[in-house]
Every structure is written in C-alpha cells, then in structure tokens.
C-alpha cells in the first residue's frame, strides 16, 4: 500500500495547464523529492496533495484511502503534516507557544495535570529536536530567519506525522543554516514518509531515496538519485548543468 | 538548559493573566464600594453605560482581537436581544429569569445562521456581509412596526422577579450591571486564555497553518461568532432594561462602528483594551458634549492619532511601556 498515491492529476487555471496527468507513488518510509524549474508545477502538486488545492481531474490517496477533496485538517487526522514555503508562524507568540498550539491539536478537551505534563514534555522534545530549546521564550517576530525555518519544521513535527511534506525547507537559508537543516531532516525517523520540494540539489541528493522531475506540468523523469543524476533530459532542463 | 529545567522554569514564571485578573477584580471591588461612599446618581448612570458598552466591546473583541474577524455588524445582536427583552416582557412576562436568558438565546440563535454564512468569507468581504446582516436587522426593526414599534421604538417593561418589581432604583440596577459585567468578564477571560482562546489567536495569526495543524477553522470561527453574539446579547439586555426602551438605532451601522472604535482605541487583542476604549469614548462623549455638539470630531481626531501612532491602542501602549521599563523590549 502506497503512503501517497497521485493518479492522473491535472490542474488547469483557465487555458493554462499547471499539471497534466501526473502520477506519483510514494512508498511508506520513502524519502521522495520533487524537483523541476520554476513553473514546473511542483508547488501545485504539493498543494493538491496537502488539500490546499483541488485537482481539475485525478485522484489522491493517502495510506490506501482516497482523500481527493479532503480538507487539510482531515488530512492531518490521517497523519499528514506539512511545512510552508513562506513561513506560516504565529509571529506574536513565543517559540514555545507556537509549538504548544501545534501540539494542542492532540490534547483537545479540558486540560488536566496529566495532559499538561505530557504536552510540555512533547513541546520540549520537539524543540530539542530542531535545536530551538534555547530560544523557547523568544517571540517569533524577533527571531532570525533561519530559526523561523527551523520552527516551521517543528510545527510540522508537532502533528506527529506519518507523512511529512516539506516545501522548500532550506529556501533563503545561508549555507551553514542549510547544512544544519539538512542534518535535522536526515535525522528524522526512517519510518516517516517524506515528500520534499527543494531547489537545492545538494539537499535533494543527500536526503532523497527517489526523485521525480517535473517540467511544464508533466513528469519528465522519475527514478533513484543516481538515475536522475545521469538523465540527459533532466540535465538539459537545468540549462545544461551537470546535476 | 534541558527540557525538564525549562518546564520547571516556565511553571515558576509569574502569571500575567493572574495579575491582570487581580487588577480587574480591584477595579470592580472599588466600583462596588463607591456608591456606599456617596457616588452621585449621574455618575452611577455613566458607569452603568460604560459597563454595558464595555461588555459589548469585550464581546466584539473575541471576534476582532482574538480571531481577527472584523465585524461591522455586531450591534445587530445588541439590538436583537434588546428587542427580545421588550417583546417577551410585553407578551409573555417580564420576569427576569425568563426575559434575560430568552433574549440572550435569541441573539445566539440568530448568530448561528449569520455566522455560518459570514465565516465563509474573510477580510473586507466578512466586514461587508456582517454590515449587510446588521442593516437587515435595522430595517426589520424599523419597518416591522406591530412587533418592534417601528421608528417610535419599543417600551421595555421593567424587570420583575417572581411577580415583584426589581431593579427599580438606580443603585440596585448599578449593582446588578456590575455583577453581570463581572461574571461575563470573568467568563470571557476564561474563554480567551483557554486552549479554545489560544486556537482563536492561532487562527488570527495564520489561518493556513491552523488548518494544516488539524484545526477545523470554520468551526472555531463560528463558535467565536456565536460566543461574541451571546455576550453582545447580554449587553443588549442590560441596555434595554436600563433605558426601558429600545429603538432601531441600536442596530444601526453607526452603533457597530462606535463599538469597533471602542475596541480599536482601547486595543484589540488585549483583554482590557475594549474596557479602556469604552470608558474613553463614553467619558469623552459626556464631557465634550457639554461644551460642543461636535464631540465626534474630537473622537475622530483621537482615533486617527491612535490608529496612526499606536495601532495596538491604549492597552498596547501601556503594555509596551511596561515591557520597556522591565527591559523586555530591545
């Protein structure tokens, strides 16, 4: 049973076709990257899988159940979490409060001392995992950009995901911050399925098991890291650069 | 520091909410003692008015300050409950145990379909649809003369309890409003500091993120809308019982705008902001209107100054000043 299956996904905006008959099959525990030049349809496909956009045609399944048209909160209940390309954080709250809000989705109802202890332990654990424990009381609006990207990851992890969608997690980061983020992503549990859209090829090839290449809304190539690195068509669309 | 140490440190940190609650409690206690020390009746009337509008502004703040929904029709619920008190009082009975809950229920029930439709929109469109609904309530109260009295308004029977008239004296009504305000403010406070309240803040800060975190955003927005309407309804009941009269102007857009201004001047998103805002607006109105009929002009200038210079209102200014004094702001 596939963790994520997209079957013949198409998406049109009037006459413009953003995606055309895209198929994607991600096995449980697999780390799959989606790459392609700007306008290839990566973010559109990502948003359709995450429930933020509806496909014009085609179906999406998560862990064997069809989820086409499901809302993001319904997908969350099926174990799907995501990060955003542009930070979607609670700017006026502290780092701790951000993660608390994210974790609280698992602790609805009246607060008890047992649930409070468990919640605090979970928040602390997540912040430790993304190296933000030391900044727990910093207001997000006062944080450096790199820290905010780490918090993006923390909020997604607070969903206790079985499937994690990472939308350009290292976008805008310095090389050092990118390396730190890559380390965190590599350290994620191997049974967690990861789908990542990323422009940084070093990150893609260090993290992914398989890579799908989109170009002009269609699948150009799909294979292992090595197969993609040796694919001439893929090299061509990256302006002749060797991958 | 490890996780356990940070958790321990957080638990030891002083609780700002408790401090705030204590300060509010002290103000309410002072207001309770004031009539015993000879507070004049006209001051009592002014404080009754401030408390009623503070409650209305507090209820709007659940939407505006905590959920980020700018409603331009909140007065509709104020008027619906106000009319409900009068209509039930005239046709069924004026016992406060009947009129009060029925009127609040009427406001909350009307908020369900209005909210259900309105929360499907956001930003400017949400503002406009709430404005449109309030205008419907205004026109209905204006035109439905057999029920509402039309432009003449409706006389509201004085409250009774088990057949005996109550709240007849200014002082009795003052204490009644003070008690209702204290209870409602405490309940609203509990709401906004609860997980539910935190969720509303999350929706205000980033709706896409809250959806991705598994929250059914529409359900929370609707709940906030109905809670706001219900407490706005409580203010409407108090207003009707205080004036023993209700007119279509209660639902007019200028009334919704006035409450919006109160919240913004006081500080949206700060619990005490609407109380400060209501007090400033009403005190200015009473003070300036004895000198000039153009008191609204001064209020408008104050509003412009605050909106351009201090977007978080008076409460925001105070909190920022406090944070600076404690060296918490860079």
DSSP state letters, B203-271: HHH-HHHHHHTT--HHHHHHHHHHHHHHHHHHHHHHHHHHHTEE-GGGGSHHHHHHHHHHHHHH-TTST
**Measured distance CA(A77)–CA(A162) in Å, rounded:** 10
Using alpha carbons only, how large is chain A's radius of gyration in Å?
18
Chain A residue closest to B214 (CA)? A73
Which among B201, B209, B214 has the least Cβ separation from residue A88?
B209
For B38-53, what is the mean pLDDT? 96
**Measured distance CA(B102)–CA(B96) in Å, rounded:** 9
CA distance A98 to chain B (A): 9
Identify the weakest region by mean pLDDT among A9-13, B242-246, B303-307. Answer: B303-307
CA distance A134 to chain B (A): 7
Residues of A in contact with B213 (CB under 8 A): 73, 76, 101-102, 105, 155, 158-159
Give the mutation candidate from B214, B215, B216, B220 for the A interface (greatest A CB count, under 10 A). B214
The answer as to whether B19 is a domain residue is no
Residues of A in contact with B7 (CB under 8 A): 120-121, 124
pLDDT at B131: 97
pLDDT range class, residue A218, cuts 50, 70, 90: very high
User: Is B246 within 8 Å of B153 (Cβ atoms)?
Assistant: yes
CA angle B63, B68, B69 (to 5 degrees): 55
pLDDT digits (tens, 9 = 90+) for B189-218: 999 998 899 999 999 999 999 999 999 999
The answer as to whether B227 is a domain residue is yes
Which among A76, A97, A133 has the least Cβ separation from residue B213?
A76
CA distance A233 to chain B (A): 35
Residue A239 in this model has a pLDDT that exceeds 60: no
User: Is A78 within 8 Å of A28 (Cβ atoms)?
Assistant: no
User: Is A184 within 8 Å of A12 (Cβ atoms)?
Assistant: no
Residue A110 in this model has a pLDDT that exceeds 70: no
Q: Which of B8, B181, B164, B32 is nearest to B94 (CA)?
A: B164
CA distance B15 to chain A (A): 14
Q: Which residues contact B319 (CB under 8 A, 6 or more apart)?
A: B267, B270, B312
Element (H, E) at B287: helix B273-289
Whether the CB of A241 is below 8 Å from some CB of chain B: the reply is no
Inspect the interface and report whether the beta carbons of A133 and B3 lie closer than 8 Å.
Answer: yes
Other C-beta atoms lying within 10 Å of the C-beta of residue A71: 16
Count the residues in chain A: 243
Residue B61 in this model has a pLDDT that exceeds 70: yes
Residue A11 in this model has a pLDDT that exceeds 50: yes
Residue B325 in this model has a pLDDT that exceeds 50: yes
CB pairs under 8 A between A and B: 85
For B141-155, what is the mean pLDDT? 95
Residue B16 in this model has a pLDDT that exceeds 70: no
Structural domain of residue B199, as residue ranges? 41-251
Chain B residue closest to A129 (CA)? B3
Cα-flanking dihedrals φ and ψ of residue B170, to 5°? -60, -40
Which CATH fold topology does A1-79+163-177+193-243 show?
Answer: Rossmann fold (3.40.50)
User: Is B282 within 8 Å of B53 (Cβ atoms)?
Assistant: yes
Which among A102, A107, A111 has the least Cβ separation from residue B213?
A102
Number of domains within chain B: 1
Which among B3, B206, B216 has the least Cβ separation from residue A73?
B216
For B73, the 3-state DSSP assignment is coil
Inspect the interface and report whether the beta carbons of B216 and A107 lie closer than 8 Å.
Answer: no
Q: Which of B207, B314, B232 is nearest to B61 (CA)?
A: B232
The alpha carbon of B185 is separated from its chain's Cα centroid by a whole number of angstroms, namely 9
Whether the CB of A102 is below 8 Å from some CB of chain B: the reply is yes
User: Is A185 within 8 Å of A197 (Cβ atoms)?
Assistant: no
The DSSP code for A139 is B
Identify the weakest region by mean pLDDT among A115-124, B48-57, B82-91, B96-105. Answer: A115-124
pLDDT at B152: 95
CATH 3.40.50.300 positions along chain A are: 1-79+163-177+193-243
Count the residues in chain B: 330
The answer as to whether B51 is a domain residue is yes
Residues of A in contact with B212 (CB under 8 A): 50, 72-73, 76, 81-82, 84, 88, 156, 159
pTM of the model: 0.90
For B135-149, what is the mean pLDDT? 96
Q: Which residues pair with A12 in a beta bridge?
A: A17
Q: Which of B66, B41, B56 is nearest to B275 (CA)?
A: B56
Query: What's the burial of A13, exposed, middle or buried (CB within 10 Å: 0-12/13-18/19+)?
Result: exposed
For B187, the 3-state DSSP assignment is helix
Residue B311 in this model has a pLDDT that exceeds 90: no
Backbone conformation region of residue B70, classed left if phi is above 0, alpha if psi is from -120 to 50, else beta: beta
For A206-216, what is the mean pLDDT? 94
Whether the CB of A115 is below 8 Å from some CB of chain B: the reply is no
For B87-113, what is the mean pLDDT? 97
pLDDT at B13: 75
CA distance B148 to chain A (A): 42
pLDDT range class, residue A39, cuts 50, 70, 90: confident
Inspect the interface and report whether the beta carbons of B201 and A90 lie closer than 8 Å.
Answer: yes
Inspect the interface and report whether the beta carbons of A88 and B208 lie closer than 8 Å.
Answer: yes
pLDDT at B328: 60
Cα-flanking dihedrals φ and ψ of residue A182, to 5°? -60, -40
For B161-168, what is the mean pLDDT? 90
Q: Which residues pair with A16 in a beta bridge?
A: A13
Chain A residue closest to B269 (CA)? A92
The answer as to whether B324 is a domain residue is no
Chain B residue closest to A116 (CA)? B7
**Measured distance CA(A90)–CA(B207) in Å, rounded:** 10
Query: What's the burial of A115, exposed, middle or buried (CB within 10 Å: 0-12/13-18/19+)?
Result: middle
What ipTM was predicted for this assembly?
0.88
CA angle B77, B82, B88 (to 5 degrees): 120
A132: Cα within 13 Å, side-chain hemisphere? 32
CA distance A4 to chain B (A): 17
CA distance A75 to chain B (A): 8
Residues of A in contact with B201 (CB under 8 A): 90, 92-93, 101
For B213-241, what is the mean pLDDT? 97
For A119-123, what is the mean pLDDT? 93
pLDDT range class, residue B14, cuts 50, 70, 90: low
Residue B22 in this model has a pLDDT that exceeds 70: yes
User: Is B302 within 8 Å of B308 (Cβ atoms)?
Assistant: no
The answer as to whether B95 is a domain residue is yes
Q: Which of B186, B233, B230, B227 is nearest to B52 (CA)?
A: B233
Inspect the interface and report whether the beta carbons of A142 and B330 lie closer than 8 Å.
Answer: yes
Strands of the sheet with A4-13, listed across from one edge: A16-26, A4-13, A57-62, A65-66
Residues of A in contact with B208 (CB under 8 A): 52, 72, 84, 88
**Measured distance CA(B62)–CA(A237) in Å, rounded:** 52
CA distance B267 to chain A (A): 15
Q: A125-128: which pairs have CB atoms within 8 A and are 24 or more residues apart?
A: A125/B3, A126/A99, A126/A154, A126/A157, A126/A158, A127/A95, A127/A96, A127/A99, A127/A154, A127/B3, A128/B3
**Measured distance CA(B267)–CA(B310) in Å, rounded:** 9
pLDDT range class, residue B330, cuts 50, 70, 90: very low
Residues of B in contact with A89 (CB under 8 A): 205-206, 209
User: Residue A29 corresponds to which tokens in the numbers above?
Assistant: 């525990």
Inspect the interface and report whether the beta carbons of B212 and A81 lie closer than 8 Å.
Answer: yes
For A142-167, what is the mean pLDDT? 95
**Measured distance CA(A83)–CA(A173) in Å, rounded:** 15
Inspect the interface and report whether the beta carbons of B213 and A71 lie closer than 8 Å.
Answer: no
DSSP H helical ranges for A53-167:
72-77, 95-104, 113-129, 145-157
User: Is A163 within 8 Å of A24 (Cβ atoms)?
Assistant: no
Residues of B in contact with A81 (CB under 8 A): 212
pLDDT at A106: 87
pLDDT at B17: 67
pLDDT digits (tens, 9 = 90+) for A69-102: 999 999 999 999 999 989 999 999 999 999 999 9
User: Residue B201 corresponds to which tokens in the numbers above?
Assistant: 């803040």
């Amino acid at each position: 049973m596939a963790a994520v299956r997209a079957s013949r996904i198409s998406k049109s905006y009037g006459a413009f076709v953003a995606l055309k008959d895209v198929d994607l099959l991600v096995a449980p525990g697999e780390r799959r990257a989606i790459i392609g030049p700007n306008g290839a349809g990566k973010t559109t496909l990502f948003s359709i899988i995450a429930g933020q956009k509806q496909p014009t045609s085609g179906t999406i399944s998560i862990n064997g159940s069809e989820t086409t048209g499901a809302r993001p909160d319904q997908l969350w209940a099926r174990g799907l979490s995501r990060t955003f390309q542009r930070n979607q954080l609670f700017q006026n709250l502290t780092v701790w409060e951000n993660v608390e809000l994210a974790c609280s989705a698992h602790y609805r109802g009246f607060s008890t001392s047992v649930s409070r202890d468990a919640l605090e332990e979970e928040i602390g654990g997540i912040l430790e995992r993304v190296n933000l424990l030391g900044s727990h009381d910093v207001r997000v609006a006062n944080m450096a950009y790199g820290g905010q990207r780490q918090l993006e990851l923390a909020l997604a992890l607070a969903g206790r995901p079985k499937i994690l969608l990472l939308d350009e997690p290292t976008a805008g980061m310095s090389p050092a911050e990118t390396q730190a983020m890559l380390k965190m992503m590599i350290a994620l549990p191997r049974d967690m399925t990861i789908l990542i859209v990323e422009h940084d090829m070093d990150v893609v090839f260090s993290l992914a098991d398989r890579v799908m290449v989109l170009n002009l809304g269609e699948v150009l190539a799909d294979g292992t890291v090595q197969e993609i690195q040796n694919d001439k068509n893929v090299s061509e669309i990256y302006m002749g650069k060797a991958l | 520091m490890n996780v356990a140490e940070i958790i321990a440190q957080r638990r030891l940190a002083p609780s700002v909410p408790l401090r705030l609650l204590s300060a509010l409690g002290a103000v309410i206690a002072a207001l309770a003692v004031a009539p015993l020390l000879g507070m004049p009746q006209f001051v009592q009337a002014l404080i009754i008015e401030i408390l009623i509008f503070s409650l209305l502004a507090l209820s709007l703040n659940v939407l505006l300050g905590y959920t980020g929904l700018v409603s331009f029709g909140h007065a509709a619920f104020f008027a619906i409950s106000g009319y409900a008190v009068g209509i039930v009082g005239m046709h069924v009975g004026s016992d406060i145990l009947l009129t009060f809950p029925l009127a609040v229920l009427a406001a909350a029930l009307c908020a369900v379909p209005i909210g259900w439709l309105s929360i499907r929109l956001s930003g400017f469109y949400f503002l406009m649809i709430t404005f449109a609904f309030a205008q419907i309530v205004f026109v209905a109260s204006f035109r439905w003369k057999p029920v509402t009295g039309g432009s003449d308004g409706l006389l509201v029977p004085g409250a009774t309890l088990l057949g005996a008239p109550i709240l007849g004296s200014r002082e009795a009504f003052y204490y009644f409003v003070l008690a209702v305000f204290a209870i409602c403010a405490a309940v609203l406070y509990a709401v906004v500091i609860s997980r539910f309240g935190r969720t509303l803040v999350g929706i205000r800060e980033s709706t896409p993120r809250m959806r991705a975190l598994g929250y059914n955003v529409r359900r929370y927005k609707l709940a906030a809308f109905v809670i706001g309407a219900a407490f706005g309804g409580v203010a409407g009941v108090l207003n009707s019982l205080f004036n023993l009269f209700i007119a279509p102007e209660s639902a007019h857009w200028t009334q919704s705008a006035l409450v919006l201004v109160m919240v913004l001047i006081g500080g949206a998103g700060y619990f005490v902001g609407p109380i400060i805002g209501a007090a400033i607006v009403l005190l200015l109105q009473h003070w300036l209107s004895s000198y000039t009929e153009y008191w609204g002009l001064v209020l408008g200038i104050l509003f412009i100054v605050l909106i351009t210079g201090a977007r978080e209102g008076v409460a925001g200014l105070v909190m920022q000043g406090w944070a600076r004094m404690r060296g918490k702001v860079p």
